[in-house]
Structure 1
Amino acid sequence: MLLRPSRRDLLRYGALAGAGTLLPGSARSAPDPWQRAADIARTVRAPVFPARSFDITRYGAKGDGVTLVTEAIAAAIKACAAAGGGRVVVPAGTFLTGAVHLQSNVELHLAAGATLLFSTDPAHYPMVFTRWEGIELINYSPLVYAYKAKNIAITGSGTLDGQGSAEHWWAWKGPWGGTAEHGWREGMPDQRKSRAVLFQMAEDRVPVEKRVFGDGHYLRPPFIQPYLCENVLIEGVKIRRSPFWNVHPVLCRNVILRGLDIMGHGPNNDGTDPESVDMMLIEGCSFDTGDDCIAVNSGRNEDGRRIGVPSQNILIRNCRMKEGHGGITVGSQISGGARWVFAEKCRLDSPDLDYAIRFKNNALRGGLLENFHYRDIAVGEVRRAAIACDFNYEEGAKGRFTPILRHINITRLHARHATRVLDSQGLPGAPVTDIALRDCSFDGVTQPSILRHTERVTLARVRVNGRSVTALDPLQPS
C-alpha cells in the first residue's frame, strides 16, 4: 500500500511550523538571537527505547555479504515494534539488504564491524510516497525509510554502504562536472527526461498519486529519509556511497544528527538536506561530499508553495566540512521558506569546497529566508567565495515569484584562503538585504567582492588580507 500524508497532516504540521515552535516566551522576545539557539539545544532530545534487543541473525540474516537479508531485517523490526519497541541489532559482518523500513519505537543499531551493504538492484526498493528534489511523487523507496513514525533511531559505529559508483546509480544523473567518475556516457539513459516531466507535473498540480515513476525513469533514491516523523536520532554511523542525497528528513520535528561520518563524491551526494523540518540539531558530524555538505530545503517551486512549510530552528555546531559545493547552504529547493538557522564552531576546508556559507534561490522558487546567525567559523581554503548569496541559481530571474533573503549575521568567521569575501547577487526588485559581518578576517583574497542588487552590508572590525576595512571593495556591474 502506498502512503502519502493527508491534508490534515499537512495542515497540522504547517500550522505548528508557522508558529515557530520554541519554549514559550523565551528566545522569541530576547534581544540576543543566540538565546533561541540555546533553546533549540535544550529542547531537542534523543528518543529513549526500552531495553530489549532483537539481533537480526535470530531472524535468519547471514553476514556473508552475499545472502540478501531484507526479509530478516524486516522481521526483526516488526517483532521489535510489536513488543513495544527496543533495539534491532546488526552484529559484526556484512549484510546485503534492500530497503529497510523503520517503525515507531525502533532503534536500528550497527555494532562495531557491522556493515549494511545495500543492493544495487532497483527491484529491491519498492515504490513509496517520497520527495525527490523538493517534489512529492511515488518512486523507489529510500534505502532507509520511515513514514509517520515516532521515536526512531539509527545508531552505532558500523557502516551503511549505498554502493553508489560509476557502475551503479550515479550514471543515472546524466551529464555532470563533479570530481568523481560517475560512469555516464553519451547515449546512456539518464534522469533528465523524467526529471522534467516530474517538475511539470508539480507545476500543473497533477495529483501526487499520479506522479508514478520508478522503473525506467532513473530518479535515484536518497539514502536515509524519515518522512513526517517525530523524535529522530541518527548517531555515530558511517555513511558511504549514497546513490543520491545522504540524510533527508522531510516534514520532521525534533531531529538529531550527531557524530556522523558522511562521505561520497558522487553526483548530488549532499550530506544532509533538512526539508521543511522544525527543531533540529546537527553536531559533531563530518561531511565530505559531491554536493552541498548541508543544504536546508523546503520544497521546489509550486510543490513547495502548495505544502508551504518552512525549515526552521536548526542548530549546526562542531561540524567539519571538506569537499562539496557549499559547506553550510540554504536552498535551492526553498519555496516554503527558511528561518532561524544557527551555526557555530564549524571548520570548513578543502580546495574542492566552492563556498563556506551559501544561499541559493531564484524567481521560480520565491520563499522568505530570514534570520541566519553564524559564529566562530574557521575556513581554511575555499575555491570561490567565503560567503555567497545567489538569486541567479539555475533559472535565475525566469519566474514571477520574489525571493527574499535578509538578516544574515556572521561573527568571528576567519578564512585563511578565500578568493572572494562575498559574492551576493540579488535580482532587480528583489535585493539581498542586511548582511552583517563582525570581527571577521579574510586572507588570501585575490578578487573583489561582487555586490549586485544587495543592500545594507555592514562591517564591524573586519580585516581583508590583514587590512582593516569598513566596506567591501565590490566588483562593479559590467
Structure 2
Amino acid sequence: MFRKISTNRLTKVFTVPLLALFVASCATDTKKDSKENGSSPMDTAWKQAENIINTVKAPTFKDKVYNITDFGGVADGTTKNTEAFKKAIETCHTEGGGTVLVPEGTYLTGAIHLKSNVNLHLNKGAEVLFSKDTLDYLPMVHTSYEGVELMNYSPLIYAKGAKNIGVTGEGTFNGQADNTNWWPWCGAGHYGYAEGTPAQRAPHNLPRLRTMNENNTPVEERTFGPGHQLRPLFFQVLECENVIVQGVTFTNAPFWVIHPLKSQNILVDGVTVNSHGPNNDGCDPEYCKNVVIQNCTFNTGDDCIAIKSGRNNDGRRVNIPSENIVVQNCTMADGHGGVVMGSEISAGVRNVYVRDCKMDSPNLDRAIRIKTNTLRGGFVEGVYVKDLEVGQVKEAVLKINTFYGIYENQEGEFMPTIKDIYLQNVAVKNGGKYGILIKGRPQAPAKNITLENVTIEKAQNVTSIENAENITYINTHINQQLMK
C-alpha cells in the first residue's frame, strides 16, 4: 500500500541524495559581480538562485515503514492518538529512521514532536485533527511568538535540534482552531472574542513578553502557557537542518502555519495552506538560510509568505539574517501580502528570489511588501522578482514602508535600510489604490529600486513615493503611462 503511493511526487524524498550543507552566502555583492561579467543584476541574481535551488535537496529516509495503527492508532476521529504518534516516532527514530505512516482515516491527537531521520507521511484520505484541549500542548517548549522566543504551549507539530525530517503526503492537518478555540485569544473584536475575557494584549501576555524582550530576560525565564493567551504555532522546526514539507494541506491554524526558525536547508513543496484565522501567515522562515518554497498554494488570513528575522532586541541578540530564499511557481489568493519581508526583521533579510508566481484575489492587499520601523531596524537587501502575474490587489503591487506600526508606538533608535529591489516582467490587471507605494525615511531613503517590463493596467493612483533614491523604470507602464 505504502509503496504504491510513494511514487511520483514522493519518490524524490527517498531517491534524491543528501547534499552537504551549503554554507556560503549567495549574492553578497550582485552589482559587483554584474559589472565584472557584463550581465545584468537580474541575470546574476538568478544564477545565484539556481545555486540555492540545486543545494536545497530533499532528505532521504530509510526504506522502513512504521504504521501508526501498529502503535495503537485509531482512526475514529474521537480517540486521542497522542501516545500512538509518540511511540511510532520514537521507535522509528531509535531504529535509525524511516517513515511513520498515517493511513486513510481521521486521527485525533495532541502535539506531535518529530525527531531526526523521521518522515511523517499522510496517505490520501488521512486527516490529523488536533485536540482543542490546551493541556494537550504541554509541557511547554522553547518556541516563539511574533519574533520573540519564549516558553509556551507546544506547536501542534514541532521539532527542535533535529536533522533530516519530513512531513509529506496527500493528507490534511486540521488544527481545529475556530471562533470557540484559540482564535478568540486574538482579542480583536472578532473571531469569537468576548469583551472582558483575557486576550493576547492583556498585561500578562504580550506586554509582559515585550518587556522581557526589552530587558533581555533569558528565554527559559519567559514562561507563558497555562494562564496566558498566546496561541501556539501550527508547524515549527527550531534549530533543524534538512527539512521537507511536501504535498500536505494545513487548515484551521491557531497562529502562523509553517515556521522554520533558526534552521537551514528547508524545502516546502506542493503544500496547500487554506487557513483564514487571525495571524494565519502561510510560511514564515525566520533566522533561516537556504529555503526553497515552490509549487504551493496560499489562501490565508494574513501574509501568504513572510520572511522574518526577530523582533527588536531579540533579533539583535540572535543576529542571524534570513537569507538565500527562493519562492517559485506558487499561487497566492487571500492574504495581507503575497511575498513579504517583515515586520519582525531586526536581524535583516538578504537574497530573496521570487519568480513564476500568480497572485489574484480581491482580498489580497499587496503583491510584494517590505515592512519595518525604527524599533525593528534591520535591513532588506537584494530582492529579485520576475515573471509575476497579478490579477488584483487592494492596496499596491509593491509596498515599502519603514513606518510600519499597529496597536502601539513603533518609533525607536534603529534606522532600517532597504536597497536593491528589482521587479522584472510583472503583469498586473488591477493594482489597487497605488501602483507603487514607498514610504522611506529622510535619514535612510529606500535605494536602488528597478522596475523593468512592469505593466499595471489599472491603479487608482500611479505612485506614492516618499524618501526613495535611484528609482529606475525600464519599459514600465502604469495606467498606460510610460514611467520615467
The normalised TM-score by structure 1 is 0.91
How far the C-alpha of 1:27 sits from its partner, in A, is: 11
The reply on whether 1:139 has 2:143 as its aligned counterpart is no
The aligned runs of 1:89-238 (5 Å cut-off) are 89-126=101-138, 127-175=140-188, 182-193=191-202, 194-238=205-249
Measured on the aligned residues, the alpha-carbon RMSD in Å equals 1.8
Gaps of 5+ in 2: 1-20
Contact 2:289–2:325, Cα closer than 8 Å, also in 1:
yes
1:86 aligns with 2:98: yes
**For residue 198 of structure 1, what is the amino acid of its counterpart?**
L
1:149-188 superposed Cα distances (whole Å, 9 cap, x missing partner):
0000000000000011111110100115xxxx51113112
User: Is contact 2:126-2:171 (8 Å) kept?
Assistant: yes
Q: Pick from 32, 35, 52 the counterpart of residue 40 of structure 1.
A: 52
Q: 2: CA distance between counterparts of 1:24 and 1:379?
A: 29
Give runs of aligned pairs for residues 237-276 of structure 1, distance below 5 A: 237-276=248-287
| C-alpha spacing 1:140/1:377, structure 2 compared with 1 (3 Å) | same
**Take 2:308 and 2:117, find their aligned partners in 1: how far apart are those partners?**
27
1:446 — aligned with what?
460
| Cα distance in 2 for residues equivalent to 1:357 and 1:242 | 24
Given residue 191 of structure 1, which amino acid in structure 2 is its aligned partner?
Q
Alignment correspondent of 1:7: none
Identity value in percent? 43
Matched residue SS, 2:394: strand
Is it true that 1:334 corresponds to 2:345 in the alignment?
yes
Is 1:351–2:362 an aligned residue pair? yes
AA partner of residue 457 (structure 2): D
Q: 1:50 to 1:221 in 2, by over 3 A?
A: same
Query: What is the CA-CA distance between 1:23 and the residue it aligns to?
Result: 11
Equivalent residue, structure 2, for 1:69: 81
Segments of 5+ residues of structure 1 without an aligned counterpart are 1-15, 471-478
Q: What is the match of residue 436 of structure 1?
A: 450
Measured in 2, the distance between the counterparts of 1:43 and 1:331 equals 25
- Do 2:373 and 2:403's aligned partners in 1 also have CA atoms closer than 8 Å? yes
Deviation at 1:415, TM superposition (A): 0.7
Provide the secondary structure at the position in 1 that maps to 2:398.
strand
Distance in 2 (CA, whole Å) between partners of 1:64 and 1:55 is 16
* 1:294 aligned residue: 305
Q: State how far apart, in whole Å, the 2-side matches of 1:23 and 1:218 are.
A: 41
In structure 2, the partner of 1:459 is 473
CA-CA distance at 1:369 after TM superposition: 1.0
Residue of structure 2 in register with 1:52 after alignment = 64
CA offset at residue 467 of structure 1?
3.0
Q: Secondary structure at the match of 1:189?
A: coil
* Alignment partners' CA distance in 2, 1:433 and 1:25: 15
CA distance in 2, matches of 1:410, 1:429: 25
Of residues 287-296 and 22-31 in structure 1, the stretch that sits farther from structure 2 once superposed is 22-31
Residue 8 of structure 1 is matched in structure 2 by none
Cα deviation for residue 209 of structure 1 reads 1.1
Match of 2:424 among 411, 414, 420: 411
After TM superposition, the score normalised by the length of structure 2 is 0.90
Q: Kindly state the Cα deviation for residue 26 of structure 1 after the two structures are TM-superposed.
A: 11
Aligned partners of 1:27 and 1:35 also within 8 Å = no
Matched residue count? 450
Q: Which amino acid aligns with 1:87?
A: T
2:155 is matched by which residue type in structure 1?
P
In structure 1, what is the Cα distance between the partners aligned to 2:31 and 2:55? 12
Q: Which residue of 1 aligns with 2:25?
A: 21
Q: Is the 8 A contact 1:27 1:39 kept in 2?
A: no
The aligned amino acid for 2:460 is T
| CA gap 1:24/1:362 in 2 versus in 1, 3 angstroms | closer
- For the residue of structure 2 that corresponds to 1:222, the secondary structure is coil
SS in structure 2 at match of 1:192: coil
